[in-house]
Amino acid sequence: MKLLKEMCAIHAPSGNEVAMTNFLLNYIDKNKKSWKVKPKIYKGEGFQDCIVLVFGKPRTAIFAHIDSIGFTVRYGKQLVKIGGPRTVDGFELVGEDSLGKADVKLKLATDKKTKELKLEYTFKRDLERGTELTFKPNWREDKEYVQCCYMDNRLGVYNALKVAETLKDGVIVFSCWEEHGGGSVSYIQKFLQEKYKVSQALISDISWISDGVFPGKGPVISLRDSLIPRRSYVNKITAIAKKHKVAHQLEVEGSGGSDGKELQMGEFPWDWCFVGAAEQFVHTPDEKVHKKDIDGMIELYKVLMKDL
């Protein structure tokens, strides 16, 4: 869990993923020599802060977004959400401007004129406008669970890196902006379609515990969220999971989204399915995942990338 712990503490809100990008490039450079297949790496110009790893003769792409939710400093003590963080008075946030690092607290205030609830922070000075604030990392671990901010989606990235160790044929995409509307997946989709003829994907992301999804019972295969993937493709995935006797849960939700949304809305006919562990305390500093579901996610991805 050391790698996951380290990644959960990296400041990389949507639009400013460069710290995660640099961390991943360094990690890949150090570790690729021990991987079964050394990938071709696409980065930089034309890919912005995204990274694309191509192994062998790919048929399927894994998409794992590297950005997180957070807040942007507006004017004075005002804050604007990045993505959809939960807002609880007193949440600890961290960031940095040209004057130095800042440990601040989220404050829920009422506008005197409109009586509407507004987001602010408490600190000894005003931070520079545009400064990004993210949840302060507080790693907790026991025999069954790991808990910290940004399991969504550092755990999806962790899963992709573990799969990379033995992957022979496939693509791993580390994408940006997922938490705040997307924007990177469509041009990567075009690149992979035109250069490698890849047209199917697995979304390595984190779902949520619900009245039908339980911790320790395996990762979820999502039948739908706010969008509906093509059922014949999802049926292939569930059949592979059953064939290899990998524990999993089927998920049905009416809301939520992922990088799969951009794939479905893109100009090319791609199949996609969200496959990932589920967490408690979604979009808070206390995201909590069962270790069995992490192991199961990695196991399921390995067989899917072989058989799809």
- Tens digit of pLDDT for each residue in 33-47? 999 999 999 999 999
**Inter-axis angle of helices 18-31 and 151-164, nearest 10:** 20
Same domain? For 30 and 144 the reply is yes
- Domain of residue 92: give its range: 71-135
Domain total of the chain: 2
| pLDDT of 238 strictly over 90 | yes
pLDDT for 198 equals 98
The domain spanning residue 91 has which CATH number? 2.40.30.40
Same domain? For 189 and 239 the reply is yes
Same domain? For 20 and 145 the reply is yes
Same domain? For 278 and 229 the reply is yes
Same domain? For 48 and 111 the reply is no
Give residue-wise pLDDT tens across range 259-289: 999 999 999 999 999 999 999 999 999 999 9
Q: How far apart are CA 49 and CA 16, in angstroms?
A: 8
User: HSE (CB half, 13 Å, CA atoms) of 239?
Assistant: 8
The domain spanning residue 59 has which CATH number? 3.40.630.10
Same domain? For 59 and 196 the reply is yes
Reference 209, options 259, 253, 254, 159; nearest CA is 253
Q: H helices of 32-106, where?
A: none
Give residue-wise pLDDT tens across range 199-219: 999 999 999 999 999 999 999
Same domain? For 16 and 145 the reply is yes
pLDDT for 149 equals 98
pLDDT for 111 equals 82
Q: Which of 97, 115, 135 is the last residue of a domain?
A: 135
Q: Distance between alpha carbon 223 and the CA centroid of its chain, in Å? A: 19
What is the chain's length? Answer: 308
Q: How confident is the model at residue 117 (pLDDT cuts 50, 70, 90)?
A: confident
Reference 68, options 234, 206, 169, 168; nearest CA is 206
| pLDDT of 116 strictly over 90 | no
**Inter-axis angle of helices 151-164 and 291-307, nearest 10:** 50
pLDDT for 113 equals 84
pLDDT for 307 equals 98
Give residue-wise pLDDT tens across range 160-169: 999 999 999 9
Asked if residues 296 and 286 have their Cβ atoms less than 8 Å apart, the reply is no
> What residue type is 285 in one-letter code?
P
Same domain? For 209 and 238 the reply is yes
Question: Per-residue pLDDT averaged across 56-67, rounded?
Answer: 98
61 to 79, 110, 218: CA distances (angstroms):
36, 46, 22
By percentage, how much of the chain surpasses pLDDT 90? 97
Same domain? For 124 and 238 the reply is no
pLDDT for 279 equals 98
Q: What is the mean pLDDT of the chain?
A: 97
pLDDT for 47 equals 98
Q: Diameter of the chain by CA atoms?
A: 62
